[in-house]
Structure 1
């Protein structure tokens, strides 16, 4: 059974508010707060219903093997209908032992069921989607713990659990929280002041008002998800190594350095957005996605539309071109830098953009390895006076590119069934899981031994010497893990842990030169 969102009130319609009283004893301060809230909200024209949990008849324990198999008592069915009717939920109860009373917790355990409050889905990164939005909520709670102690010593566990892990998980946001206490030392005048404050806030319908910060967050959050910012530090580090190699530590403090990175950032952003658009057929059927594979899911989940993402790609691409023009005008040698940036743009955007679509033709993994090593290192090097013929950035980029290759190959393994069904010919699709893993192991082995070989030459300027042994050990560890996985035949499905180790391995090849040159 599916449950619809609470319909909007419409022009001039009264807001619908459900006050849920969770104190197990009648006549408490919590009851007085609930009465004060109801009086203020009704004065503002809202339609208010009460749900007094101590008057409901339901089994407070989850006794079935699965919560959905347990019978829903009539009072709980009525409570769910009331929650669906409401646009704003107001919870009123004391904070005992840093959380809600057992009665309130039991009610939440029994009423917030799958299919009503949330559902499992393969469309989102979390694997779940809340079903109770777009509603707002409010918690009015009394406590004896001093507010600073509850916030800074205990970390507000009850507040966070309700607002984030419970209501937020179910799609209810934002949740406004008002605490009153310490109650045990309060005077009659203080309690009267609290009641007047609650009534006045309710009369202004403050809890229903979504502030500018939350509205902005709703707009910005999908775009931040689409950016996939976890991959950007790698680009910055390789670019910074190239700039430091040619310009020294002073390069980092110049406006040219940061304008150059703006070009790369906008180009990477445009690339990510284009990837999201072109890879949508594969992403829609991909059930093995994770933080490192399967796209950002903003199109699949509907958080962004195709036109919006297309506009974002055009805007970022245009911004990159404009910024690159200004950068080249200020460079010591404009033409080499312009050529390097143009080549990078073709390779980056061509990763998925038709008609090139390198990632759909078995060349995407090599493309990523090149663009994220020499592809971004060379522009930084040229920007500060370096030359194309200088071998230093090329030798530095070689092991870096080889270290990137295993990670990008492995990221294609979870996506392989969906990519194959969509016609995307990644190396995992072309070579099969075993062949792709073998190729990743070859690239990993080469990258692991190169820093050791550089110890006997000056090709890398000694910038990998301090990490030659750690790189070898890390590489051998990854090779052992891959060999074990290869023997087990478990080459499909999510591999977030292994991907995390593979991405961490890349850091050796950027942090060591970066720290030595800076």
Structure 2
């Protein structure tokens, strides 16, 4: 498997990191002798000076019908010039569109060019499968930039008119095909400009072409995107659940002033943060085959897709795992050395938590492949971290209070982690993962998700009625039963067919929000 990973990741992650960038300059002005034509030629000269491969295309020189006469654009045969244009676009890594802003958008001929050339099967592919209907971006290995001339000050176009043409091309056309627009240069007003101003604009555009020496993206843009990629890989949306459980455990052992003034509490929080990061990155690494086959990945399922999209390499993920584990280990040792409780009990709990968290996907445990993944996630994100918080502040592992606090929390996590197997069903099954969805189908998912949702609310009500865990649960916990019933109705209504992959983002959001009853209410009660 490791060798397969390396072979699959030989492809470069982005065109701006290649040694030989191919640039296609597309002039969208209907008159080649216009100032736009001069800008396109000047940009080309800058590219030549930068040493990149460059081709030019003038839309006005092409012979084609700009109107789509068939129901689907791909049903209308392409003229020879458009076939050549598609081949040039395929060749290019970076597309440069030079055109005037007319009536807030592009000239009609350029619009017709997009209508005909960016057809299904070339720029994108559509699919329909239940709620997962959508499209696949087919040109996502390319970048683009726009050079737009206008007869108004660019600031008026941007702030008064809100850039309708730029937004449409950048987001709805290029973006729909997966092309990332890295730079937009707006030039104007042109009509009343002086020769000196035009020469300055030409010099600026030539410099844009020369800047491709370091790639289509600036260093600042690459750094920002790199940071965004890693933040996406870390999947920070899942961290608060563990942090809340940890703090509940700490507050169960001491009052808030003692907890938040304790160095051990903050060091333990650092340990959990880096362990969560290492766990997420480990899942990315060992779940690559599953994530690669997953066409229903969303914000809550299917991983971050950073490996699948070649935005980071396997070596970088391994380095990230090593770094976060190392930092987690340092924070863990510091926590044990400063704890007010038993160092042996705390260190043992940390080792168990680490083994279960990493063992979710990592060998030899690979718990998610043995129908133990859902229970593992529920345990580690509830009772597991809650006990760490309790022990850090000086509590004892044989005191029942933290265990009781963790039970409804654990039960409330199970619906969401079980439902997460539905979008991943086909990919998990192909990879040999034995999730609840794969092993028991939608009937099993419904039974577990609905049963544990109701049980969490009922246990919370019992804990409130009996004054369990320092009265952490107040009367407001009774409202969780209504949420549980609504969630059960949604589950029954949404998952009423045979097992299969499908997008259930709304249902996932409803199940994840359900956890807040058993995180926020005891937290506020203990505070």
Which of 272, 279, 288 is equivalent to 1:271? 279
Give distance in 2, aligned partners of 1:283 and 1:101. 42
Taking structure 2 as the reference length, the TM-score comes to 0.84
Name the structure 2 match of 1:403: 412
Q: Secondary structure of the residue that 1:373 maps to in structure 2? A: helix
Contact 1:121 1:129 in 2 (8 A): no
Give distance in 2, aligned partners of 1:9 and 1:289. 27
Name the structure 1 match of 2:8: none
Contact 1:136 1:207 in 2 (8 A): no
- The 1:7/1:185 distance shift into structure 2, 3 A limit, reads closer
Give distance in 1, aligned partners of 2:314 and 2:43. 43
Name the structure 1 match of 2:358: 349
What are the equivalent positions in structure 2 for 1:448-487 lying under 5 Å apart? 448-465=457-474, 467-485=476-494
Structure 1 residue 288 displacement after superposition: 4.4
What are the equivalent positions in structure 2 for 1:70-469 lying under 5 Å apart? 70-118=76-124, 128-131=136-139, 133=141, 135-170=142-177, 172-173=179-180, 175-183=182-190, 186-202=193-209, 205=212, 208-217=215-224, 219-220=226-227, 222-245=229-252, 246-249=254-257, 251-252=259-260, 255-333=263-341, 334-465=343-474, 467-469=476-478
Contact 2:26 2:98 in 1 (8 A): yes
Deviations 1:222-266 (A, max 9, x none): 544433333222112222332344350564466543432221122
Give distance in 2, aligned partners of 1:120 and 1:193. 44
1:509 aligns with 2:515: no
Give distance in 1, aligned partners of 2:25 and 2:93. 11
Q: Secondary structure of the residue that 2:486 maps to in structure 1? A: helix
Structure 1 residue 49 displacement after superposition: 4.1
1:31 aligns with 2:37: yes
Contact 1:125 1:291 in 2 (8 A): no
Q: Secondary structure of the residue that 2:420 maps to in structure 1? A: helix
Deviations 1:264-292 (A, max 9, x none): 12222222233334444544544444333
- The 1:81/1:510 distance shift into structure 2, 3 A limit, reads same
- The 1:127/1:48 distance shift into structure 2, 3 A limit, reads closer
Q: Secondary structure of the residue that 2:323 maps to in structure 1? A: helix
Structure 1 residue 329 displacement after superposition: 0.7
**Farther off after superposition, 489-498 or 364-373:** 489-498
Which of 45, 56, 63 is equivalent to 2:69? 63
Contact 1:471 1:505 in 2 (8 A): yes
Contact 1:118 1:131 in 2 (8 A): yes
Deviations 1:268-324 (A, max 9, x none): 222223333444454454444433333344444444454543443333223322220
Contact 1:374 1:394 in 2 (8 A): yes
Structure 1 residue 372 displacement after superposition: 0.6
Contact 1:16 1:85 in 2 (8 A): yes
Q: Secondary structure of the residue that 1:424 maps to in structure 2? A: coil
**Farther off after superposition, 172-181 or 321-330:** 172-181
Q: Secondary structure of the residue that 1:372 maps to in structure 2? A: helix
Give distance in 1, aligned partners of 2:295 and 2:211. 46
Contact 1:256 1:327 in 2 (8 A): yes
Give distance in 2, aligned partners of 1:170 and 1:379. 47
Give distance in 2, aligned partners of 1:150 and 1:7. 30
Deviations 1:135-160 (A, max 9, x none): 54332112345434443455444334
- The 1:389/1:438 distance shift into structure 2, 3 A limit, reads same
Deviations 1:445-469 (A, max 9, x none): 1112333334423214444326324
Give distance in 2, aligned partners of 1:44 and 1:212. 16
Which consecutive residues of structure 2, in runs of 5 or more, have no partner in the other structure? 1-10
Structure 1 residue 102 displacement after superposition: 2.5
- The 1:30/1:484 distance shift into structure 2, 3 A limit, reads same
Contact 2:124 2:138 in 1 (8 A): yes
Which consecutive residues of structure 1, in runs of 5 or more, have no partner in the other structure? none
Contact 1:90 1:140 in 2 (8 A): yes
Name the structure 1 match of 2:4: none
- The 1:204/1:326 distance shift into structure 2, 3 A limit, reads closer
1:498 aligns with 2:504: no
Contact 2:421 2:435 in 1 (8 A): yes
- The 1:25/1:388 distance shift into structure 2, 3 A limit, reads same
Aligned length: 510
- The 1:207/1:72 distance shift into structure 2, 3 A limit, reads farther
Structure 1 residue 503 displacement after superposition: 0.7
